[in-house]
Amino acid sequence: MNFRQIKYFVATAETGQVSRAANALSISQSAVTTAIRELETEIGTELFTRTAHGMEMTQSGRELLALSYEILTKIDEAVNIRERASGTTGRILVATTYTVIGYFLPYHLDRIARMHPNLDIQVHELNRESVEEGLLANRFDIAIVLTSNISNPELETDTLLRSTRRLWVPQGHRLADRRKVQFSEISEEDYIMLTVDEAANTTMKYWTFGSTPPRVKMRTSSIEAVRSMVANGQGVTVLSDMVYRPWSLEGRRIVTVETDPVVPSMDVGLAWRRGTEMTPATQVLYTYFRQAFNTPQI
């Protein structure tokens, strides 16, 4: 058993598909498949059940996933002994938004706290307009936001992650087995519209790909509500891979399909006031994210 196998296994478990894991890791699908088969041989049991819609973890797979997180955490701590010994101190005021704090930031805040225990990072969740206003008024040192929503020329941005948007449908849906789906076909379905973090505005921008507007059945700021509605067969939606989970809270399966044409990605990254000199503490945070995303991370 080696680190590569564990890393590829975790990526597959989290994304639910070999293709998505390979994309996140910037490697070939065959490399992921080989690593998982080697791991299953080493352990002597199946970790996934292969289905037409992806990879479903077995009980052994779920047990190994919990252990794998512990292994990766310990490796992280070992690799970053030097950073923890650096003794960088200071307070960082960080602004962020609903989607970022819910589906991106917690993992990284935990890593940073272990790597730099002397940093005092204070996080404030706000809407985009308030984040921008706070940066320009120097109330925040830096923001971690959806950079695809930022257009203020007084702010600098650095995109870290581009998350592909896909069509979400329930398992067994007529479009579930399609390789790609056109917007004219999606418009025939009831649509569940997410509204948080300007998602509704973004949706309407790319909906011009279709000849007819979406048939909106429900508007909600809750991603979990969207997930449940789609899984229960009440409608479809188009959202990013970052917020995708293969199961709803009710334990029902959600399948994703590529759109034709491809929808612009949801981009996550850093933002700060143009021309501002970062404090040493803020520079540590900035450097962490730049290093973390120079090579693919899960």
Report the CATH number that the domain containing residue 10 is assigned in CATH. Answer: 1.10.10.10
Are residues 7 and 51 both part of a single domain?
Answer: yes
133 with 187, same domain: the answer is: no
Predicted pLDDT of residue 126: 97
Structure tokens belonging to residue 283: 């520079």
Domain encompassing residue 19: 3-79
- Look at residue 75 and tell me whether its pLDDT is greater than 90: no
In this prediction, residue 293 carries a pLDDT of 76
Domain with residue 97: its CATH number is 3.40.190.10
Q: Give the span between the Cα atoms of 298 and 286, in whole angstroms.
A: 18
pLDDT given for residue 202 in this prediction = 87
Q: Residue 175 has what pLDDT?
A: 96
Residues 103 and 242 in one domain: no
Residue 71 and residue 105 in one domain: no
Closest by Cα among 268, 206, 211 to 237:
206
Same domain, 238 and 286: no
Mean pLDDT of the chain: 89
* Encoded tokens for 295: 């090579």
Res 191 pLDDT > 50: yes
* Final residue of a structural domain among 60, 79, 98: 79
Crossing angle of the two packed helices 3-15 and 29-43, in degrees rounded to 10: 110
Q: Among positive and negative, which fits the CA dihedral 179, 229, 165, 19?
A: negative
Tell me the pLDDT tens digit for each residue of 143-181: 999 999 999 999 999 998 888 899 999 999 999 989 899
**Residue at a domain's end among 21, 47, 79:** 79
Q: What is the pLDDT of residue 80?
A: 65
Query: What pLDDT does 163 receive?
Result: 86
> 175 and 256, same structural domain?
yes
Of the residues 79, 113, 134, which one is the last residue of a structural domain? 79
**pLDDT on residue 153:** 95
Q: What is the pLDDT of residue 297?
A: 39
Mark whether 92 and 225 lie in a shared domain: no
Look at residue 297 and give its three-state secondary structure.
coil
How far apart, in whole angstroms, are the C-alpha atoms of residue 159 and residue 244? Answer: 20
Are 190 and 155 members of one domain?
Answer: no
Q: How confident is the model at residue 93 (pLDDT cuts 50, 70, 90)?
A: very high
Q: pLDDT: is 158 or 49 the higher one?
A: 158
> For 81-90, 116-125, 275-284, which range has the lowest pLDDT when averaged over its residues?
81-90
**Are residues 74 and 114 both part of a single domain?**
no
pLDDT in tens, 237-266: 999 988 988 888 888 889 889 898 888 889
Q: Each residue of 15-34: pLDDT tens digit?
A: 888 888 888 787 888 999 99
Residues 178 and 200 in one domain: yes
pLDDT in tens, 271-292: 999 999 999 999 999 998 988 7
The predicted structure's pLDDT at residue 69? 84
156 and 174, same domain (yes or no): no
Q: Are 232 and 258 in contact (CB under 8 A)?
A: no
Q: How far apart are CA 204 and CA 26, in angstroms?
A: 30
Domains in the chain, number: 3
pLDDT, position 246: 83
Whether residues 212 and 250 fall in one domain: yes
Residues in the chain: 298
